[in-house]
Amino acid sequence: MATPSEKLAQSLEVLHGLQEKGIVAIRSSDLSRVHRERLTKHGFLREVMKGWYIPSRPDGTEGESTAWYASFWDFCASYLEERFSDEWCLSPEQSVAIHSGSRTVPRQLAVRTPKGGNKPTELLHDTSIIDIRTALPEDADRTVVERLRVYTLPAALVACSPGFFAANATDARAALSSIRDASDVLRVLLEGGHSTVAGRLAGAFRNIGRERIADEIIKTMKAADYNVREADPFEGPGFALPARAVSPYVNRARIMWEDMRGPIIDAFPKAPGKPNDVKAYLEAIEENYVTDAYHSLSIEGYRVSPDLIERVRSGDWNPELDEKDREHRDALAARGYWQAYQAVRGSVERVLGNENPGTVTDEDHGNWYRELFAPSVTAGLVKPADLAGYRNGQVFIRRSMHVPPQAEAVRDLMPALFELLEGEEHPAVRVVLGHFVFVYIHPYMDGNGRMGRFLMNTMLAAGGYPWTVVPVQKRAEYMAALEQASVSQNIVPFAVFLGDLVESTMAGKAEAAIPAQ
């Protein structure tokens, strides 16, 4: 007779078989009742709604949302296919977001379908789907993006509500920048007789510097005997985006950068300027190491103490000890942090020598990352190939509704980030957006938070600000501010949070004390 462990293993094998087929949204019919109940009992399966489940982690805490946010888009695609076959399409506004490179989980996903019930279907963690009963766009105006049925980009831009452009400026501008020629948009405008929309889109294209497309829309619509009045749907001044073919992810980063600069400058303390005594500045960084390592590693969930950090720094630790022991993993992380900290200190020295901080971090950040994980590679806990460079798979941020860009986009985004840093003249903008955009991209499978804080402190040095520690006691506030910036495009809480820490550090206040052990 099989033991309980053997029975659970059998159920896990069945679940693994479903996952190998790429199935994320699991229906009751996909598993026998025995397997389903066993997997649910042990935390490997979680019910989303009656008859529908997703895989989950048994070690997740109460209210843990990561598994759901990671599964959201695949789950919705499967659920909608099962319910409506191919007779559904995401709303024009959500379609624009998808085309612009955003995979942020919405509170409510709006779906159009002739079979809709005009009622929301409640999902996990205060999310829902609302199926709106309405006719679908023509076949020529629909497409499929990663299993999601959406409007084509030109059709979506035409069908969007007037207020969408101001309320979702980053999505709208990034999507508009992907249009290379007026012809596709004009087809939809002319076939539908959309003279008012033509004026709105002409104004929107002119807002991002696409004068030729704007003029073409106006001239063609007038030639077809439509009266068109151009109107910019965005609030505030526009700015030109590159006309050459650029990833929508890159344009999204540039748009965020431009939109967020002003609020950061208003919220952040004035830069002191390069220190006169570079040696004293570097010595202060060394003196700050234990405090910084304790808080930065603790934010990432490692259990470290000043004693462990000192033993690791001095080499008084034994990597041959039980490799399954939690303290061993923590020690490896601490050793990697020490090695990376020294590499970052070298980068800071370059910056203080008047080298461009964007260029320095572009050239050096790969070395920071390799040093951060080298001890874990030596111990066999991390594969050597993981040090090769940026991630090759999708990554999710714990408890965040922000879904980082796909691996392919990272290759375009990282050079764009360093280009923005190289060209940025304001020290505070480099500090806040250097950190934020780095973790928004999440270029590595692990270590992104630590790398982002290293980048932040290198930018702080470039402005003459002191090395600043993010205290683990403020982790919740720190993560909430990053979430606001990532999901709602509101950088103010993050700029204020970092600015307050920097001011306290400059004033000599102990924001980042180490608790008594």
Question: Does residue 321 register a pLDDT over 60?
Answer: no
Tokens of 152: 């084509």
- Can you give the three-state secondary structure of 421-465, one letter per residue? HHHCCCHHHHHHHHHHHHHHHCCCCCCHHHHHHHHHHHHHHHCCC
Mean pLDDT is lowest, of 133-137, 374-378, 426-430, 451-455, for 374-378
Question: Does residue 287 register a pLDDT over 90?
Answer: yes
User: Greater confidence, 61 or 364?
Assistant: 364
Q: What is the mean pLDDT of the chain?
A: 89
CB 292 within 8 A of CB 469: yes
Question: Does residue 322 register a pLDDT over 50?
Answer: no
Question: Does residue 326 register a pLDDT over 70?
Answer: no
Cα Rg, the chain, nearest whole Å = 26
Phi, psi values for residue 131, rounded to 5°: -100, 110
CB 437 within 8 A of CB 326: no
Mean pLDDT of 238-245: 72
CB 207 within 8 A of CB 232: yes
Q: How far apart are CA 189 and CA 197, in angstroms?
A: 8
Mean pLDDT of 294-310: 76
Question: The tokens 């066999």 sit on which residue?
Answer: 380
Tokens of 306: 């000043």
Strand (E) or helix (H) holding 252: helix 248-267
Indicate the burial class of 407 (C-beta count within 10 angstroms; 0-12, 13-18, 19 or more): middle
Question: The tokens 């290379």 sit on which residue?
Answer: 180
Residue 455 identity: L
Q: How far apart are CA 143 and CA 293, in angstroms?
A: 49
pLDDT of residue 480: 96
pLDDT of residue 515: 65
Q: How far is CA 314 from the centre of its chain?
A: 36
Question: Does residue 22 register a pLDDT over 90?
Answer: no
Mean pLDDT is lowest, of 117-126, 298-307, 464-473, for 298-307
pLDDT of residue 313: 67
**Residue percentage of the chain with pLDDT more than 70:** 92
Question: Does residue 296 register a pLDDT over 80?
Answer: yes
pLDDT of residue 312: 64
Indicate the burial class of 188 (C-beta count within 10 angstroms; 0-12, 13-18, 19 or more): buried
Question: Does residue 324 register a pLDDT over 50?
Answer: no
Q: How far apart are CA 411 and CA 413, in angstroms?
A: 6
Interior angle at CA 163, CA 160 and CA 167, nearest 5: 105
Mean pLDDT is lowest, of 28-37, 75-84, 469-478, for 28-37
Band (pLDDT 50/70/90 cuts) for residue 104 is: very high
Q: How far apart are CA 515 and CA 473, in angstroms?
A: 10
pLDDT of residue 452: 97
> What pTM, to 2 d.p., does this model score?
0.84
pLDDT of residue 8: 79
Strand (E) or helix (H) holding 34: helix 33-41
The count of residues in the chain is: 517
Indicate the burial class of 115 (C-beta count within 10 angstroms; 0-12, 13-18, 19 or more): exposed
pLDDT of residue 418: 97
pLDDT of residue 342: 96
Mean pLDDT of 50-68: 80
Band (pLDDT 50/70/90 cuts) for residue 389 is: confident
pLDDT of residue 185: 95
Tens digits of residue pLDDT in 127-142: 999 999 999 999 999 9
Largest CA distance in the chain: 83
Most confident of 75-89, 291-305, 366-380: 75-89
